[in-house]
Structure 1
Amino acid sequence: MHLNHDPASPPAAEIGFDDFLRVDIRVGRIVSAEAFPEARKPAYKLTIDFGPGVGVRRSSAQICARYALDDLPGRLVAAVINFPPRQIGKFMSEVLTVGFADAEGEVVLFAPDRDVPLGARLF
């Protein structure tokens, strides 16, 4: 599946509300961020705390163009937590951290604009 990052593209095919509910998107706080030089595309290894219900999970995120490693710990992010883990090189990415492409096509993280409990679900 190829994602279209063009903001002028038409909407995706219509889905039912039950389809939306199957995608479990939660908020977490980045605990640590590390360089990931082995990745084919520039990426960081993120460790994210989703609170007691979900726990701590890891993610590979292609966000190097817009974020410095030192600026990431403590930051809230949103991630899909119910995709199967994905092997990326020697790293197992357990969640998909989500964002939007900016005008240059670089990823900008998606996060709430106020503090919310870790593990809160997007609805």
Structure 2
Amino acid sequence: MHVNHSHEEPAAQEITFDDFLKVDIRVGVIVSADDFPEARNPAYKLVIDFGPAIGEKKSCAQIVANYQRAELVGRQVAAVVNFPPRQIGPAMSEVLTLGFADEAGEVVLFAPDSAVPIGSRLF
């Protein structure tokens, strides 16, 4: 198992505000979470609704250590919505669901601390 020690790394190279604005991070709500037994590392296949402007998108997320499938549906999450789709084994991941590594290197999802309209953009 790979343990992520990103909390021990210095800040990344400085970027401009315009660089930041190129990354489109939106809030969505998970509408389904399915097992993904074909994945190299334990993962779920998520469908996340980002509202009418973006719609429902698929994401493969390695979050099985900290989340049960049943608790994910209805949960708000943040994701990068403007990366090109990426093939993950037999599945296509259309957005990058965001999280941080806990002490064990497992993903903890990133989300607002109170509900916001789906499709809202991080700024």
- TM-score, normalised by the number of residues in structure 2: 0.95
Classify the secondary structure of the residue corresponding to 1:71.
Answer: helix
CA–CA separation in structure 1 for the residues paired with 2:5 and 2:15: 19
Classify the secondary structure of the residue corresponding to 1:118.
Answer: coil
Give yes or no for the alignment of 1:47 onto 2:19. Answer: no
Correspondence for 1:34? 34
Correspondence for 1:88? 88
Correspondence for 1:115? 115
Shift in Å, 1:89: 1.2
1:65-84 CA-partner distances (Å, limit 9, x unpaired): 00001110000000000000
1:83-102 CA-partner distances (Å, limit 9, x unpaired): 00001111110000000000
Change in CA separation of 1:19 and 1:5 when aligned onto 2, cut-off 3 Å: farther
Correspondence for 1:14? 14
Classify the secondary structure of the residue corresponding to 2:58.
Answer: strand
Change in CA separation of 1:25 and 1:5 when aligned onto 2, cut-off 3 Å: farther
What is the RMSD of the two structures over their aligned residues, measured on CA atoms? 0.8
CA–CA separation in structure 2 for the residues paired with 1:24 and 1:5: 25
- TM-score, normalised by the number of residues in structure 1: 0.95
CA–CA separation in structure 2 for the residues paired with 1:21 and 1:46: 25
Q: Which runs of 5+ in 2 are unaligned?
A: none
Correspondence for 2:79? 79
**Amino acid corresponding to residue 19 of structure 1 in structure 2:** D
CA–CA separation in structure 2 for the residues paired with 1:30 and 1:5: 28
Correspondence for 2:24? 24
Classify the secondary structure of the residue corresponding to 1:7.
Answer: helix
CA–CA separation in structure 1 for the residues paired with 2:54 and 2:72: 20
| Runs of 4 or more consecutive aligned structure 1 residues displaced over 4 Å after TM superposition | none
Q: Which runs of 5+ in 1 are unaligned?
A: none
